[in-house]
Structure 1
Amino acid sequence: MIHPDALTGLVLAGGQGRRMGGCDKGLAPFGGRPLVSHAVAPLVGRVAAVLISANRHPEAYAEWADRVVADVEPGYRGPLMGLYSGLRAATTEWAVVVPCDSPALPDDLIARLSAGLGEADIAVAHDGERLQPVVMLLRRSLVDDLGRALAAGERRVERWIARHDWRAVDMSDCAEAFANLNTLDDKRRLEARRRETLRR
């Protein structure tokens, strides 16, 4: 297990939310609180610091983070830029990354990623059907390579991961935990599922 003191939690919330009408997705209400508060939950108490990568409303996100980090380059250049900016701001050896729009991530997420890492540099969650590339544990020292990849035009998280020694971590037993909210319909569906679960 990686000690919490060696870990930074990074929540990616810097997107434009275009499929949700341009809203700041991390601040959209879900189950009575902002989505970002659910994303932060599996990190709190398990990392030395929580960073939120956000390009809007930093004062609102500050309630849920030790630090809010904007992209180092403007223009909403995607999750790789958010990852790069967060890794530059982190001071620990390792970082664990989650998206702001997955409100049901398991409490033992960090423990499972850590256990599945082995001797690799990156551990990525796999839900049994597909890789979840923005749910990962990685060495902060990869930040320089990431900067070079971005400068060369790379924008896909999966392709950048593939440059390194990485492991997929089987989380098929909780595949539903990786459902994310890309549209308002997704949000309504997940909220209904959450209410049903709470009633049981």
Structure 2
Amino acid sequence: MIRIEEITGLVLAGGRGMRMGQVNKGLQLLGTEPMVAHVLRRLRPQVGQIVINVNQDLERYAEFSCPLVCDLIPDYAGPLAGLHAGLSICTTPYIVTAPCDSPFLPDNLVEHLAAALTREQAQLAVAITVAPENQFQDAQHRTTAKWQQQAVFCLLKTDIQSHLDLFLKRGGRKVSDWYADLKIVEVAFENAADFRNINTCAELAETTLDSH
């Protein structure tokens, strides 16, 4: 069994927020608090410590009293660059990632990912969900439904850092391409809405804390 103290939480907030008008998405208000505050509140009880990957607005993010780490790869290279940065300062044997724009992440995320990682002796566990329009009540339809990988919600062993280093040095950027060379386990979560990410100002304006 993996203990909470062995897991570092990494909040990915290093993007440019292009679809939201080039603003830092994690700092945009949902209700009376920035979205990242909601993410931190849900993730903090599930891990031993939290690090935030961020490439701008460092002074604002410092207010959340978590260590900050910037990408080591230039030009906003995506979530793998954020993971790469987080791994560079991680001191625990496991790290779990979550994006700053998913304020409803499940409170059992790490528990389920850790159980599957241990059970399957995998290197990485990643969440999968069924889109709401494809959800069914009976088991027969559930097994044939199309599952969607929530690639930035994953728990991994930090000893695969060198594998990621090599992948990035060779120019790799896509998360799915990196996963292809790892032993992964997909972990099903029933409520896809828990993994909703808010990408645009319009989506944010339409979202309330009880709307998901």
TM range (shorter): over 0.9
User: Which residues of 2 match residues 145-156 of structure 1 at below 5 A?
Assistant: 145-156=163-174
Provide the C-alpha distance between the structure 1 equivalents of 2:197 and 2:59, rounded to a whole number of angstroms. Answer: 24
Task: Please give the per-residue CA displacement for 1:54-84, whole angstroms capped at 9, x wherever unaligned.
Answer: 0011121123242000011221111110110
Equivalent position to 1:124, from 119, 126, 145: 126
Question: Following TM superposition, by how much is the alpha carbon of 1:24 offset from its aligned partner in structure 2, in angstroms?
Answer: 0.6
Provide the C-alpha distance between the structure 1 equivalents of 2:173 and 2:106, rounded to a whole number of angstroms. Answer: 27
Question: Following TM superposition, by how much is the alpha carbon of 1:28 offset from its aligned partner in structure 2, in angstroms?
Answer: 0.7
Q: Does 1:95 align with 2:95?
A: yes
Q: For structure 1, list consecutive stretches of 5 or more residues without a partner in the other structure.
A: none
Q: Cα 1:23–1:46, aligned 2, differ >3 Å: closer, same or farther? A: same
TM-score, length basis structure 2: 0.87
How many equivalent pairs are there? Answer: 194
Q: Does 1:176 align with 2:193?
A: yes
Q: Does 1:164 align with 2:182?
A: yes
Q: Cα 1:148–1:196, aligned 2, differ >3 Å: closer, same or farther? A: closer
Provide the C-alpha distance between the structure 1 equivalents of 2:210 and 2:195, rounded to a whole number of angstroms. Answer: 17
Question: Following TM superposition, by how much is the alpha carbon of 1:196 offset from its aligned partner in structure 2, in angstroms?
Answer: 4.7
| DSSP 3-state at the match of 1:23 | coil
User: Which residues of 2 match residues 22-101 of structure 1 at below 5 A?
Assistant: 22-101=22-101
Aligned residue in 2 for 1:10 = 10
Code of the residue aligned with 2:93 in structure 1: it is E
Q: Cα 1:48–1:127, aligned 2, differ >3 Å: closer, same or farther? A: same
Q: For structure 2, list consecutive stretches of 5 or more residues without a partner in the other structure.
A: 131-146
Contact 2:46 2:107 (C-alpha < 8 Å) held by counterparts: no
Question: Following TM superposition, by how much is the alpha carbon of 1:41 offset from its aligned partner in structure 2, in angstroms?
Answer: 2.1
Q: For the aligned residues, what is the CA RMSD?
A: 1.4
Contact 1:51 1:65 (C-alpha < 8 Å) held by counterparts: no
Provide the C-alpha distance between the structure 1 equivalents of 2:68 and 2:155, rounded to a whole number of angstroms. Answer: 19
Code of the residue aligned with 1:148 in structure 2: it is L
TM-score, length basis structure 1: 0.92
Q: Percent identity between the aligned chains?
A: 39
